[in-house]
Amino acid sequence: MNANDAAIGRMLIPAAEIHTRISGLARRISDDYAGVGLLALTVLRGGFVFGADLIRRMDPAIAVQVDFLRAGSYGDGTTSSGRVDVEHPPPVDGRDVLIVEDIVDTGRTLESLQERIRDRGARSLRTVTLLDKEGRPDRRCTLDYVGFRIPDLFVVGYGLDYAQMYRHLPDIHVLNHEPRPEESP
């Protein structure tokens, strides 16, 4: 991987399992949007790998359009700052929007995104997330499709970063510890 290998802990979800699950999600989504079409709105940056794999497994007969927005609340740490920034939400007026998220933790990011997309006049709104952290009963966002429910651990790989690193790893791993300065690239 790189000089920060020590920060990468056990593999939580191997790539093969991720791909099997995504095929299942894509089949369900294709069934639900048959004859309707959808705008897949991927949340950057973490969702870019998942979004790219998901749309390529959807039924080619479905009219799929893609767009992106940026949202973030974590900075470079591993706990939520509570403040959600959303940059450049695209026009969604009258569209059937599917938000594509990498991971939902407190649900604040998604709640804020869902509110904004609805306010901007989407005709329908659903959300797919690859990972859903368990044990958050006070969430106010809605999840329509979930890849995996995982324990409350900080994970990296398959698009998910720690301080902008590890997005390229094909499997999902637990982060062992925050890298010490001498381990940084």
Among 106, 143, 148, 176, binds ligand 5GP (CB under 6 A): 106
Q: Which of 109, 114, 126, 158 forms a contact with ligand 5GP (CB under 6 A)?
A: 109
- Token reading at 155: 């994970």
> Closest approach of Cβ 61 to ligand 5GP, in Å?
30
What count of residues does the chain have? 185
**Which residues lie across from 126 on neighbouring strands?**
98
Contacts of 51 (CB under 8 A, 6+ apart): 40, 42, 66, 100
102 in contact with ligand 5GP (CB under 6 A): yes
Strand spans (E) along 105-167: 124-133, 145-150, 155-156
Is residue 125 close enough to count as binding ligand 5GP by CB under 6 A?
no
- Assess 8 for contact with ligand 5GP (CB under 6 A): no
As given in the structure block, the two tokens for residue 39 are 């705008």
Position 4 contacts ligand 5GP (CB under 6 A): no
Instruction: Count the Cβ atoms, other than its own, within 10 Å of residue 158.
Output: 24
Q: Is 105 among the residues known to form the active site?
A: yes
**Residue with smaller CB distance to ligand 5GP, 53 or 105:** 105
Least distance in Å: CB of 103 to ligand 5GP? Answer: 5
